Chains A and B, each alone.
Chain A
Amino acid sequence: MVLGPNGAGKTTLLNSISGVARPTSGTILFDGNDITGARPEQVVRMGLAHCPEGRQIFQRLTVEENLVAAHVGRAGKSFEALRSDVFDLFPILKERRNGMASRMSGGQQQMLAIGRALMAEPRLLMLDEPSLGLAPKIVQQIFHIVLDLSKSGISILLVEQNVQLALECGDYAYLLNNGTVRLHGPAQELAEHAAISEHFLGGASETLLHG
């Protein structure tokens, strides 16, 4: 779990891991393999799916076509099997499978974005702000599903601004600001950390920004 204010570098971190952005220094290891500078399609093939900020679903494709697009040319489980897994997870997608993706609500689009990422059969799923612009009730629903996914054996790397909710769900958290890790530790410990509560749950932020 990666937390931090706007402009902290959370999205850049995910983009660097998935190969969309090229890191200027450092190495990225996944399962002990160096994936620094690998192209996005190679990263996906290694079992690392990135569900980008702002969902970025294909608006002009139907729900099902969005899933097809993420599966074309992929080895592994058949499209039908993966699709039925996604439909089990998000029944609303099954209902609207032939509808245009642009006609769905924000929450449904987020579900589609996660479902589409799952078509790659990821071992690690990176979610960038899945709660962005969604009603609290929908956010709860999506987080429940994400928790289920993590229980089913998929590692989740979550980037969130909704810190309270994220700390309730996650295991281990990194706090990022200005491109560097400021704090890290088990979610429960961080939740009790003074700086976090001051910074994110109201109060002065000075200590954190300089500390």
Chain B
Amino acid sequence: MLGTIIQQVFNALTIGSIYALIALGYTMVYGVLRMINFAHGEMFMLGAYAAFVILTLLIGDIGNAGVVILALVFFAAVIVVGLIGVGVERLAYKPLRHSNRLAPMLSSLGVSLSLVTAVQIVAGPQPIGFPSFFPSTRFDVLGGTVTSVQIGILIAALVLMVALYTLVNRSRAGIIVRAVSESRPTAQLLGINVNLAISLVFFAGPVLGAAGGILYASYYGIMSPTMGAVIGLKAFTAAILGGIGSIPGAMLGAFILAFVEVAGTALLPALTGGLLGTEYRDVLAFAILILVLLVRPAGILGEPVSEESMVYKREF
């Protein structure tokens, strides 16, 4: 029993850290632009494809890549996707910044479809096997099986999240991003380079999302052009659950969502006498999304938006 619990906890932590990496991108973009970037799930997918392409180009035989090469490929791939993220913002969202708030969101839906289709045309619509970025060994932890891939994902995700946290809270770039998130008009008035802050966010978000994609593809050993769709929505759910706009909220929401999913999947068949099976995993996640939106739209750590604060911040 203890072994099963430990194993499930590790499953939840693994998938939770991947959700967290993606959710951070949703929440940061919402922070600076108050928009939902529906193309963000595709950054996750592009991460896996970019890593695969670079790996294949660098060394034909994927099986024999050393640790250093793999790390380099990882960083090269996430940076490429980060640059794609910046480019997407410049091309598809920036021209719409001063129009209706819905316009950039609709544009992001279009970007999402275009990216999926582009990858389908170039790489084919069928799933492709993905090499693991981590050596595959199994450990026995108090009766439960934990794989080295899981440990690797946890460590990589943790390092990236600590790096982001430090960047946002300790660096000058982080200060201007937070300033722009709080009030774009005030930031502009002070002469803060708002475009730079927005580009930074559209770089950092896709970098983390792409990292999530590489880790996810390593975990399951497979990638496909549509892999970002459902995971993207789940991470979006996590961001809403934690409070969209809040960075700690996105991480918290991701882990809560992962634990609920894993626990639900394990317990649902037993609790309902086999009526509801493990296939209800996704339903569970989106039931949470609907519940949060109904009961507490601001999420766990989000600030409730009061009428007063809206009026106060809108104009000088």
Q: Contact residues of A with B, CB < 8 Å?
A: 11, 14-15, 18, 20, 39-41, 43-45, 50, 52-54, 56, 58-61, 65-66, 68-70, 72-74, 116-117, 120, 128
Residue of B nearest to A70 (CB): B190
Q: How far is the CB of A6 from chain B (nearest CB, A)?
A: 14
Binds A, one of B69-77, B79-87, B181-189: B181-189
Chain A residues within 8 Å of B172, by CB: 68, 72
Measured in the bound complex, the distance between the Cα atoms of B108 and A162 in whole Å is: 49
Tell me, in angstroms, the Cα distance from A209 to B108 when the chains sit together: 52
Neighbour of B192 across the interface among A56, A69, A128, CB < 8 A: A69
B168 to chain A, nearest CB (A): 11
> What residues of chain B lie closer than 8 Å to A18, measured between beta carbons?
189
Given A68-B172, A69-B175, A61 and B182 touching (CB < 8 A)? yes
**Interface contacts beyond A14-B316, A44-B190, A60-B178: sample of 9 additional A-B pairs, CB < 8 Å, sorted by A:** A20-B188, A53-B316, A61-B175, A61-B179, A69-B176, A69-B179, A72-B192, A73-B192, A74-B191
How many chain B residues touch A (Cβ–Cβ < 8 Å)?
22
Identify the interface centre among B182, B190, B194: most chain A CB within 10 Å of its CB. B190
Task: Give the chain A neighbours of B191 by CB distance below 8 A.
Answer: 40-41, 43-45, 70, 74, 120
A2 to chain B, nearest CB (A): 14
Contact A54/B189 with A60-B178, A69-B179 known, Cβ cut-off 8 Å: no
Q: Within the complex, what minimum Cβ distance (angstroms) separates B250 from chain A?
A: 16
* Cα(A11)–Cα(B185), bound, Å: 14
B166 at the interface (CB under 8 A from A): no
Q: Which residue of A lies closest to B174 (CB)?
A: A65
In whole angstroms, how far apart are the Cα atoms of A70 and B187 in the complex?
A: 8
Residues of B within 8 A of A (CB): 172-173, 175-176, 178-179, 182-183, 185-194, 196, 312-313, 316
**Across the interface, do B188 and A41 meet the contact criterion of CB distance under 8 Å?**
yes
Contact A69 B189 (CB under 8 A): no
Q: Within the complex, which residue of B175, B192, B316 is in contact with A52, where a contact is CB–CB below 8 Å?
A: B316
| Distance (whole angstroms) from the CB of B162 to the closest CB of chain A | 20
**Closest 5 A-B residue pairs measured CB to CB?**
A44-B191, A52-B316, A69-B179, A41-B191, A56-B186
The residue on B at minimum CB distance from A68 is B175
Instruction: Given A11-B316, A65-B175, decide whether A52 and B189 contact each other with a Cβ distance below 8 A.
Output: yes
A72 touches B176 (CB 8 A): yes
Minimum CB distance partner of A67 in chain B: B175
Q: Tell me the bound Cα distance from A3 to B190 in angstroms.
A: 24
